[in-house]
Amino acid sequence: MRKLRLSLVAVVGALSFALPFLAHGAGYTPPQGALAPTPLKAGSQFSGKLTYKPGAKIKVAYMPPTTNPYYTAIGEGVKARAAELGAEVVVIAPTDQMDIAAQMKMLQDVPSQGVHAIVLSTHDENAAGPLVKRLTDQEGIAVVIVNSDIAAFPSPVSAVVGYNQRKTTHALGEYIAKKRNGKAVVGVLEGGPGYHSTERCGGFLDAFKKYPDMKVVASLPTAWNEETGNKATLDMLQAHPDINLIVAANDYEAIGAAAAVKSLNRKNIEIYGNDGDTTAIEQIYAGEWTGTSNTTPFVMGKVTMQVVKDVLDGKFPGGYVETPATITTKENALQFLKHPENLFPKPSKAY
C-alpha cells in the first residue's frame, strides 16, 4: 500500500509539472512542418499592446545578421509565405555577419520603415536586447526571433522560431561517435562568440563526453564563413596533424574545412557541419565531405511568417516553435536535392 501511495504521489507530481506544458497552446494549430509551441522562460514573453490592427495589410522587416545563402533561404521562405498571405516583406541586413554595430544601427532605424513586425536573427542578443525592448514597448512592433531556440532573450519577444540547436548537434554527435566506434581525434570549428556557437558546439561536445576515446584536441573560433573555416582548419592540422574528425558550427565553416583538407591531400578526415545549405548538401552527395544537420531554412522561413501572422492576429499563444532538422549524409542527401521547391538557392542541377 505504501508503494502504491508513493507511486500515486510520483504520478501526481509528474502531471503537475507537465500540465502547464500540455495546456500551453491548446487549440492552436502550429504551421505545417513545426511542433506545437512551448513556453518561453518567465519574463521572456512579450504580452504588451501592438500597433497592428487585425485585417490591415502586414508589413514585416526580415533582419538577419547577414545576407549569406543560408539566411537568404530563410528570407525566401518568409517572402513565399508572405506572398500567400498578401503581406509585404523588406530585408534589412549587414553584409558582414560579424558587423554587430551595423545590425544594431539598423534596429534603431527600422521603425521609420513603418513595419508591424520584425523577424530577427542576431549573433549578439545582449546588444540587441535594449533595442528590441524599445521596439516592442515604445513602438508596438512585434519581434519574432528566428533560427534560434533561445528561451530567454534578454528582452521579451512575441515568439521564437527555429531548430533546437544543442539537441540537433547532440544527435549528430551521437551519430558520429557510434559510426566511428567511439574513437576519434577531434577538431572543433566554432562560430563567432555568442549563444548560437555555444549551443551548437556544446551539443557536439556533450555527445562526445561519454566516449573517452573521442578526444577533442583543438577548438578555434571562426567568423561563420568559408575563409575563416579554411584558415582555422589549416592551423589546427598544422598543430595537430593526427586530427581525423572535424565538426563545425555551420556548413560554411565545413565547406572551408573541406577545401583545406583537400589542399593538404588528407584522405582520412571526416567533416561534419550544421545548417542544410544547398551547396553543402550537393558537396556531401558528391562525397566531398561527410555530413550535416539539415535545418531546412526555407521551411523555417515559411513557418516563421505564419507565426508572425498569428501573433499579429492575436491567435498565437506565445512561446518557442521548433522546426525540423535531419542528419544528412551521402546516403540520404538525394531526398532533399530532389525537392528543389524546399531549397534556396536551387541546386546547381536537376537530381
Which string of DSSP letters, residue by residue, matches 187-205? EEE--SSSHHHHHHHHHHH
Q: What is the CA radius of gyration of the chain?
A: 21
The type of residue at 292 is T
pTM over 0.85: yes
List all residues 6 or more positions away from 311 whose beta carbon is below 8 Å from its beta carbon. 50, 117, 142, 144, 158, 159
Q: Hey, which residues does 61 pair with through a beta bridge?
A: 90, 118
The C-alpha cell that represents 29 in the structure block: 494549430
pLDDT band at 12, cuts 50/70/90? very low
Could you give the CA distance from residue 279 to residue 251 in angstroms, rounded to a whole number? 9
**175 has a pLDDT exceeding 80:** yes
What's the mean pLDDT when you consider all of the chain?
Answer: 93
Q: How far apart are the first and last CA of the chain?
A: 64
H/E element, 293 = strand 291-294
Residue 25 pLDDT: 63
List all residues 6 or more positions away from 349 whose beta carbon is below 8 Å from its beta carbon. none
What domains are defined for the chain? 31-163+297-323 (3.40.50.2300), 166-294 (3.40.50.2300)
Residue 1 pLDDT: 38
Each residue's pLDDT tens digit, 34-43: 999 999 999 9
List all residues 6 or more positions away from 209 whose beta carbon is below 8 Å from its beta carbon. none
Could you give the CA distance from residue 86 to residue 71 in angstroms, rounded to a whole number? 22
Strands 320-322 and 291-294, by their bridges, are unpaired
**111 has a pLDDT exceeding 80:** yes
Average pLDDT over residues 154-169: 98
Each residue's pLDDT tens digit, 273-291: 999 999 999 999 999 999 9
